[in-house]
Amino acid sequence: MSELMKQSCEACSADAPKATADQKQTLGKDIPDWQLVELDGEEQLQRVFKLKNFAQAQAFTNKVGDLAEEEGHHPAILLEYGKVTVRWWTHKIGGLHKNDYIMAARTDAAYKDMQ
């Protein structure tokens, strides 16, 4: 279990600092399958998860949704046949925060549990 998995998200305000380049590099080591992407000028973490069929992809989507509700931190999720794309970023700051890395690690664990 990664160190990120053991951590909880912290309340984040609109003036919270975005993750620095050093933080992104360090935190990213715990989630090596995630990519940094930029969408509409906001840096985000993205990963595509492959699943066996639509039902399994839908079940995974629901697991990620439950994780998001538990922490009050919500991703963008695209559900397709046998594939789920998840993007984490902190809407309030328009970029990445440590919370996003924590949630990416939890998403990885949820996926591993389904394998």
Per-residue pLDDT for the chain (115 aa), expressed as one digit of tens each?
578 877 888 878 888 999 999 999 999 999 999 999 999 999 999 999 999 999 999 999 999 999 999 999 999 999 999 999 999 999 999 999 999 999 999 999 999 998 8
The tokens for 84 are 């789920």
Task: Please name which of 51, 53, 58, 49 lies closest in space to residue 107, comparing C-alpha atoms.
Answer: 49
- Cβ-based burial of 50 (10 A; exposed 0-12, middle 13-18, buried ≥19): exposed
